[in-house]
Amino acid sequence: MGRPSNVLRRTAVTATLAAVLAGAGVVALAEPAAAAVTVSGDVVCNQGTGPVVGVWIQAAGGSGWASGTSVFSKSGVTPPWTVHVGCGGSPSNWQYAVYGVKSISATFANWGCYPFGPPFQAPGCYTPAS
């Protein structure tokens, strides 16, 4: 049996190189998992819509009900995160559901919620942390 042809050798080298590069690319593109943190803050319902009756934390990981209402916290959250807030009504039947307009990475934020929208902006919960 003779030596492999140049075509076969090139094919083998190309396949080996592709496998090495693909393996290196996977390692280079992998990002470390974000650590879960405790997020907290305070929230106010504006425009006469009543008190805060519930706070849901919507996050990249660990979404769920926050403990507390006007002053809240939730552990096990992977940022970024935002709030969904109940203004008026009861904890099980919100009069107004107002959602954060942006997600943030900070672990603490003050939120102001506007069911009808602040001047020149859409309805939602806003924070200077965003």
pLDDT tens-digit readout, 62-113? 999 999 999 999 999 999 999 999 999 999 999 999 999 999 999 999 999 9
Query: Against a cut of 0.85, is the pTM above it?
Result: no
Task: Characterise 10 by phi-psi region: left (phi > 0), alpha (psi -120 to 50), beta (else).
Answer: alpha
Q: Is 114 exposed, middle or buried (0-12, 13-18, 19+ CB in 10 A)?
A: buried
